[in-house]
Amino acid sequence: MLAGLAAIDSRIKTRTGHLWEEVFTNAAQHNSLTTVAIGPTWRGNLVAANAWSSSHGLSHIGDGQHVGFINDFYDDEGWWASAWIAVYDLNHDSKYLDQAVTIFNDLDAAWNSTPVGGLWWNKKHEYVNAITNELYFSIAAHLDNRCPNDRERYINSAQAAWRWLFSSGIFTSQRNVKDGLAVGSNPGATEIVWSYNQGVVLSALTELSAATFQDLYIGIAKLIADAALANLTSADVNEDAVATLRDPCEAEMWCGIDGATFKGVFARNLAHLHSVSPEDKYAEFLRNNADALWTRSRDQYNRLGLVWGGPFTEPAGASMQCSGMDLFVGALSQLGEWNSDTESAKSGIGKRSFNARTGRLTREFFGLW
């Protein structure tokens, strides 16, 4: 989230410059020893609760055997790789890109090792889920656009990952991505549709489009985004009937610690897609959800709530704040409110430019396009 904000505001970039090295050094010392504390039990039905515990962090307990940003969970590794790519895009320090490559190598070594292809969620082979495979796809596509000396490897991996996702049965008939497949010793409720699974694939397809010069992938990304906006939004808690993004766990007002970040992941990746191929409906969605969160689900201390359409409720932990701020960054990135900053204006961040290949105007929010 901070890297995304720094990418569109040079003042934030300056203020957070020290942070990347501190996290890079210190987090690696604790990564493999972390035990996720979840607080109160999510009170969903038994099937849904099983899915939550199997695929969303309740058993993310490191064994202390790994170092750096490699641990027992391939999805954890994928999130780190995504973060370091974002930092590399900010400062172009090769050590962050090298770390993403190191993480990708660990994922790639396990590719196609499940009975149905793709990647396991963890190294105990308990589940084949969407997010792990989407992250693998996304990282491969991002690296292809940043590692010119190894492009063939990354483009082949990205295309293989997309073919697997498309043909695996992980998409519903409504073009939503479900949580996973009924494979492994503890697959949980695979049919649940979470917002973040609709998000990561958007930037993966966007990056693949840039790598292959094929707009087909942008079109597919928009079909997935449109399905999410149609099927994962609700206006029933808003006086003004604004359709805000919802996750199924919100009915019980508890989404665990990691689950509360999911909607922010979707917003961040929708903004990435929108930055390359703008759509008024995506801009409106980001703006309306950000307005709803700010006016309806914020307390007097500026803490952000779980339900973006309000009302604000406790708890309001770090994951809710990160998710909400991801939404704000996504909304700001397409509004261009930082353009009054002279340094940003000089750098060209946020300006619209003509893409000769696609014949479209695009916004250079992320310094990539």
What pLDDT was estimated at residue 305?
Answer: 96
Q: How far apart are CA 240 and CA 100, in angstroms?
A: 43
Q: How far apart are CA 142 and CA 136, in angstroms?
A: 10
180-181 and 128-129 strand pairing? antiparallel
User: Do residues 117 and 57 touch, judged by C-beta distance below 8 A?
Assistant: no
Instruction: Quickly state the pLDDT bin for 252 (edges 50, 70, 90).
Output: confident
Per domain, the residue ranges of the chain are: 2-363
What pLDDT was estimated at residue 336?
Answer: 54
Whether the CA torsion 329, 287, 75, 206 is positive or negative: it is negative
Note the pLDDT tens digit of each residue in 57-105: 444 544 545 568 999 999 999 999 999 999 999 999 999 999 999 999 9
Cis peptide before 315 (omega within 30 of 0): yes
In the predicted model, what is the mean pLDDT of residues 5-18?
91
Q: How far apart are CA 166 and CA 161, in angstroms?
A: 9
Note the pLDDT tens digit of each residue in 304-325: 999 999 999 998 999 999 999 9
What pLDDT was estimated at residue 66?
Answer: 57
In the predicted model, what is the mean pLDDT of residues 180-193?
91
160, pLDDT greater than 60? yes
Instruction: Quickly state the pLDDT bin for 367 (edges 50, 70, 90).
Output: very low
Note the pLDDT tens digit of each residue in 12-60: 999 999 999 999 999 988 765 544 433 333 333 333 333 433 344 444 5
What predicted TM-score, i.e. pTM, was given to this entire model? 0.85
What pLDDT was estimated at residue 37?
Answer: 38
365, pLDDT greater than 90? no
Instruction: Quickly state the pLDDT bin for 188 (edges 50, 70, 90).
Output: confident
Q: Which two tokens stand for residue 153?
A: 């490897």
- The CA–CA distances, whole Å, from 5 to 2, 59, 63, 87, 130 equal 5, 31, 34, 11, 27
Lowest mean pLDDT among 128-137, 239-248, 269-278: 239-248
C-alpha closest to that of 366 among 264, 271, 267 = 271
Specify the DSSP class assigned to residue 128: E
Determine the CATH number of domain 2-363.
Answer: 1.50.10.20
- Residue 354 three-state SS: strand
